[in-house]
Amino acid sequence: MSSLCAGCGHDSISASIALACYEMSIEPHKIAKLSGIGCSSKTPAYYLNNSHGFNSVHGRMPSVATGANMANGDMVYIGVSGDGDSASIGMGQFVHAIRRNINMVYVLMNNGCYGLTKGQDSATADKGSRSKKGAPSPFSSIDMASLALELGGTFVAQSFSGDKTQLVPLLKAAINHNGFAFINVISPCVTFNNNSGSTKSYDYFREHAEATSSLDFVPEKEQIVADYKEGSQKTITLHDGSKIYLDKLAKDWDPTDFDSARASFMNAQKSGNIPTGLIYMDPESIDLHEILNSSSAPLNQLDKNTLCPGSATLDMINASLR
């Protein structure tokens, strides 16, 4: 049983994560759940029992994920974080995880406030928006999805906690993406930030959501059953042959086009609308292991000869540096 408030968006996201992993038949021991501190970061306690888990200190989840991934690239890393955890104390860690393209899913449960510590404005609270107890936020907000794109993020998506139809295929595509897959999920805080005046409330989202596409994810070996209207679909093939099918809703939408992804965030800032769906992805993305040419085989499975190649090899390396 979750100990979060009844109606919390975070619980719906947890349900979507569990469903995505179930539908992909990922064995629990192949998953590592990682988080920082906050109501959002407590959620891994409520899903994927028997998976590995690490609840780090506040804002430090990305460095734990980096270390774990470097030691064992043969796992599915699912990190969850809050907007306080990621956009304030953990901002430095967040940006470098994107820059390094660590192969992980990063779900930001974005409620525009510090839920766990009783609802203070976070850095994603929109300027002028008002939480239940607070004055209008005097500062402009940080748009985390737009930031992820600017930093060279290779998979940037946006969704809503209550939209399982959109979120589950997005999560599946993110799990299959070869690199850092960021999903910014608007997740209303029913206790502190679900009032009129809040731009992270259920009502505001319903009035301002702007779906870029509806989508489906089809794993490599499964029969393709997607059935979309003629002339409006886009298929993206991932590195392992799996496919993402997009049914375009927004005019001229192409998630592999960086410039239109960027333009959609610019337009959203002006209109106050929230684009949802797969905003951008690079199907050619290469992850940190490939960038560094490091071993993606788990280090604890390497034998002594691989780990210690002997003095002749060492002499060769030394000679090459002289």
Ligand X SMILES: Cc1ncc(C[n+]2csc(CCOP(=O)(O)OP(=O)(O)O)c2C)c(N)n1
Question: Quick one: 103 or 193, whose CB is closer to ligand X?
Answer: 193
Q: Rule CB under 6 A: say whether 117 interacts with ligand X.
A: yes
Minimum CB separation of residue 271 from ligand X in Å reads 25
Q: Are strands 104-110 and 76-82 parallel, antiparallel or unpaired?
A: parallel
Question: Quick one: 115 or 134, whose CB is closer to ligand X?
Answer: 115
Minimum CB separation of residue 41 from ligand X in Å reads 7
Cβ contact 243:224 at 8 Å: yes
Question: Quick one: 202 or 258, whose CB is closer to ligand X?
Answer: 202
Chosen residue from 17, 31, 38, 211 binding ligand X by CB under 6 A: 38
Q: Rule CB under 6 A: say whether 109 interacts with ligand X.
A: yes
Minimum CB separation of residue 184 from ligand X in Å reads 13
- The site for ligand X, by CB under 6 A, has a size of 18
Amino acid identity at 89: I
Chosen residue from 122, 129, 199, 212 binding ligand X by CB under 6 A: 122
Q: Rule CB under 6 A: say whether 4 interacts with ligand X.
A: no
User: Residue 166: helix, strand or coil by DSSP?
Assistant: helix
* CA end-to-end span of the chain: 62
Minimum CB separation of residue 125 from ligand X in Å reads 10
x/- string (CB under 6 A) for ligand X, residues 73-92? Answer: ---------xxxx---x---
Q: Are strands 243-248 and 213-218 parallel, antiparallel or unpaired?
A: antiparallel
- Region near ligand X per CB under 6 A, out of 32-40, 176-184, 235-243, 282-290: 32-40
Chosen residue from 94, 114, 205, 280 binding ligand X by CB under 6 A: 114
Cβ contact 115:150 at 8 Å: no
Could you please report the per-residue DSSP string of 57-111? STT-HHHHHHHHHHH--SSEEEEEEEHHIIIIITHHHHHHHHHHT-SEEEEEEE-
Question: Quick one: 31 or 125, whose CB is closer to ligand X?
Answer: 125
Q: Rule CB under 6 A: say whether 58 interacts with ligand X.
A: yes
Minimum CB separation of residue 113 from ligand X in Å reads 6
Q: State phi, psi for 26 to the nearest 5 degrees.
A: -85, 130
Residues 6+ apart with CB under 8 A from 192: 111, 113, 115, 118, 119, 131, 132, 133
Q: Rule CB under 6 A: say whether 239 interacts with ligand X.
A: no
Helix and strand numbers, DSSP H then E, in the chain: 12, 13
Q: Rule CB under 6 A: say whether 111 interacts with ligand X.
A: yes
Question: Quick one: 70 or 95, whose CB is closer to ligand X?
Answer: 95
Task: Describe the crossing of helices 9-23 and 164-176 by its angle, rounded to 10 degrees.
Answer: 50
Residues in touch with ligand X (CB under 6 A): 37-40, 58, 82-85, 89, 109, 111, 113-117, 122
